[in-house]
Structures are given as structure tokens and as C-alpha cells.
């Protein structure tokens, strides 16, 4: 797991053609906006989160965020334990995000 500032997270994401953006916030938070093309899996689902993550490709690089950076750091740690080698946590999370935002339809 790597904690990255928004600048580094965005730069690395733009240069990575094997990446997945993962939003681990609640549905209520996602309804307020989401980073475009992000996959949403709520970390508060507990075992459900693990089951959904297990279906993902472990060979991809995961750029993970939540509201402030705490839950996404947890998600990175869980995913690392499950065999995902490349996880990147967005420090400051969505609340400090300066990039584009999509409204969840």
C-alpha cells in the first residue's frame, strides 16, 4: 500500500493503463458525487466487501479513496492481505478532491 497525495495519485493514475479506481464510501456519500469511472464497493459491508473484492483482478493496480483517507487505507490493507499487490490510498480522500466529479445516476 502506498499513501499518495492527490497530485501523485492523479499523476500515477493517468500514467497507468492497468488501473481501477475504487470508491469504498457508503451509498449516501456516493450519491453526492464520485470520481468518474470509479467502481463502488462499500467497505462497511464487512464480509460483503471482501466477497466483492475477491472477484476483482489481482493483477490490476487499485487507486482507492473514501471521504477522508481512513477507510481507503483500511481497504488497501485488507486487499493487500487478500493478495492484491498494488493498492494506492488517496490521502485526504474525496473531501479534498480537486479533480472531476460525476454524479451517480
Q: In terms of Cα–Cα distance, which of 63, 82, 61, 64 is closest to 24? A: 64
Question: E-assigned strands of 1-105?
Answer: 2-4, 19-23, 39-40, 61-65, 87-90
Give ∠ CA 96-80-73 in degrees, rounded to 5: 20
3-state secondary structure 42-57: CHHHCHHHHHHHHCCC
Give the residue numbers annotated as catalytic, written as ranges: 66
Amino acid at each position: 500500500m502506498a499513501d499518495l497525495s492527490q497530485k501523485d495519485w492523479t499523476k500515477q493514475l493517468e500514467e497507468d493503463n492497468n488501473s481501477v479506481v475504487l470508491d469504498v464510501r457508503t451509498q449516501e456519500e456516493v450519491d453526492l458525487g464520485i470520481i468518474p469511472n470509479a467502481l463502488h464497493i462499500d467497505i462497511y459491508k464487512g464480509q460483503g466487501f471482501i466477497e466483492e473484492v475477491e472477484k476483482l483482478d489481482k493483477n490490476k493496480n487499485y487507486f482507492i479513496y473514501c471521504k477522508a483517507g481512513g477507510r481507503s487505507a483500511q481497504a488497501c490493507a485488507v486487499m493487500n492481505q487478500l493478495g492484491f499487490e498494488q493498492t494506492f490510498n488517496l490521502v485526504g480522500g474525496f473531501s479534498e478532491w480537486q479533480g472531476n466529479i460525476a454524479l451517480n445516476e
